[in-house]
Amino acid sequence: MKTTGIIILAAGASQRLGTPKQQLLFQNKSLLQNVVHTAQQTGGSPVIVVLGAYATQISQQLITEEVTVTVNPNWPVGMAGSIKTGLQQLLRIAPHVSSAFLLTCDQPFINPALLQNMHALKTTSGKGIVACSYNNTIGTPVLFDKTYFPLLQLLSGQEGAKIILQQHPHHVATLDFPQGAIDIDTSSDYERLLTDS
């Protein structure tokens, strides 16, 4: 895992929620701190956090964390800019990384074992991409070999990394992660999370 970077995408404005989801509390930590600590425990390095909306406010909770914070100034345009911002920062400070995880802060059940299993699957499968499967789809967390970094840099607008998974299905290994379907977009999602946990 030493040469695997981790990019945490946390730039969105949480418009449907009405408050920054990055700061919602779950198990005595914010959702963002939760995924940051998971990343740190996994052993991937470095850990890049991409902020956008509320960047000044949210970065305060990361002051004591061993992460590199970068801001996507074009966050309203969509996910692609945040992926590119994170990847550029990763390659700037760790040009020799061989792969990179893309994580979001609104999947509260991402844990170190999941990421380690994804890393192991990349090795055993020989595939260049490892994605998680849930709810009849595949998506984040996703682990990309560096050979896909140029394609990630070509994403634009609202495009997320899923388009690369769709374009290269034979290059993708998947790992079951049923709890990946739980993400926090609305207040009812958050209430359900607190009730069910």
Alpha carbon distances (Å) from 76 to 72, 107, 129, 167, 183? 9, 21, 27, 25, 20
Alpha carbon distances (Å) from 110 to 26, 34, 72, 99? 13, 9, 23, 18
Its domain, for residue 54, covers 4-196
Inter-axis angle of helices 112-125 and 31-42, nearest 10:
50
C-alpha span between 36 and 21 (Å, rounded): 14
pLDDT one-digit tens code per residue, 5-55: 999 999 876 666 566 678 877 788 888 999 999 999 998 789 999 998 888
- When divided into structural domains, the chain yields a total of 1
CATH number, domain with residue 157: 3.90.550.10
pLDDT of amino acid 129: 97
What is the three-class DSSP state of 140? strand
**Alpha-carbon dihedral sign for residues 121, 126, 131, 132:** negative
List, run by run, the mean pLDDT of 10-residue segments along the chain (197 residues): 89 66 80 92 90 89 92 89 96 96 92 96 96 92 97 88 92 92 75 76
C-alpha span between 182 and 109 (Å, rounded): 8
